């Protein structure tokens, strides 16, 4: 049997390990890095959601302006005269709204709800009602398209399904596994546009 190798240190090495600080920064960074990176990703994702919300607000204002001035109603009357259905008119309005969206927002995730109340009519206490989202088809089931006429109070809602994952295992959506719903609303009274 060979003799043990000579060592600079003899005896217990525990006190020496307790005082040795080499590599402590790397270990500390390894402990802090994952939460720090997760925090940065959450801040970035939240910032993008706010940017998307502002872009949606701008797009709904552009679309509502067409209704306020009567341009949308005139286009719809022409469309009905050429045989378009109300669903096709609603899709045309949605497509026009998509043109106002920035490129990072997908048109396939945009839904539009337009409701009107005639001038002088009583506005229902319940407001516009709840949105019913079908998770299977990933569509809203009770959206309407009524642009009203002159003097009508018109509410235009742009509804956008915004995905909020920050990592494969994390989700900031209030509804687990479902996208966050961003809503931009414009309420206005139509002008005398004839």
Domain membership of residue 18 (yes or no) is no
Domain membership of residue 16 (yes or no) is no
Domain membership of residue 174 (yes or no) is yes
At 173 the pLDDT is 55
Task: Indicate the helix (H) or strand (E) that contains 161.
Answer: strand 153-162
Cα–Cα distance between 141 and 60 in angstroms, integer?
A: 20
Domain membership of residue 194 (yes or no) is no
Mean pLDDT of 58-62: 94
Q: Which residues contact 194 (CB under 8 A, 6 or more apart)?
A: 70, 150
Task: Indicate the helix (H) or strand (E) that contains 51.
Answer: helix 24-68
Q: What is the pLDDT of residues 142-187, one digit of tens each?
A: 888 888 888 888 889 999 988 876 555 555 555 555 678 899 999 8
Cα–Cα distance between 14 and 58 in angstroms, integer?
A: 65
Neighbours of 175 (CB within 10 A): 11
| Domain housing 36 | 23-189
* Structural domains counted in the chain: 1
Q: What is the mean pLDDT of the chain?
A: 81
Cα–Cα distance between 147 and 68 in angstroms, integer?
A: 9
Asked if residues 146 and 114 have their Cβ atoms less than 8 Å apart, the reply is yes
Cα–Cα distance between 193 and 67 in angstroms, integer?
A: 10
Domain membership of residue 135 (yes or no) is yes
At 6 the pLDDT is 54
Domain membership of residue 55 (yes or no) is yes
Q: What is the pLDDT of residues 82-114, one digit of tens each?
A: 888 888 988 999 999 999 999 999 999 999 999
At 97 the pLDDT is 92
Neighbours of 178 (CB within 10 A): 15
Checking if the pLDDT of 73 tops 80, the result is yes
């Amino acid at each position: 049997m060979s003799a043990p190798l000579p060592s600079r240190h003899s005896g217990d090495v525990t006190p020496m390990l307790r005082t040795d600080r080499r590599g402590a920064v790397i270990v500390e960074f390894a402990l802090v890095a994952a939460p720090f990176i997760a925090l940065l990703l959450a801040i970035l994702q939240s910032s993008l959601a706010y940017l998307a919300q502002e872009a949606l607000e701008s797009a709904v204002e552009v679309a509502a302006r067409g209704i306020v001035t009567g341009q949308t109603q005139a286009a719809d009357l022409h469309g009905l005269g050429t045989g378009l259905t109300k669903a096709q008119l609603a899709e045309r309005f949605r497509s026009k709204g998509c043109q106002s969206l920035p490129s990072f927002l997908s048109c396939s995730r945009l839904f539009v709800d337009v409701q009107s109340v005639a001038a002088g009519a009583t506005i229902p206490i319940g407001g516009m009602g709840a949105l019913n989202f079908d998770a299977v088809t990933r569509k809203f089931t009770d959206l309407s398209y009524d642009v009203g006429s002159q003097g009508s109070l018109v509410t235009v809602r742009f509804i956008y399904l915004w995905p909020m994952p920050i990592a494969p295992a994390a989700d900031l959506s209030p509804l687990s596994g479902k996208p966050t719903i961003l809503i931009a609303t414009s309420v206005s009274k139509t002008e005398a546009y004839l």
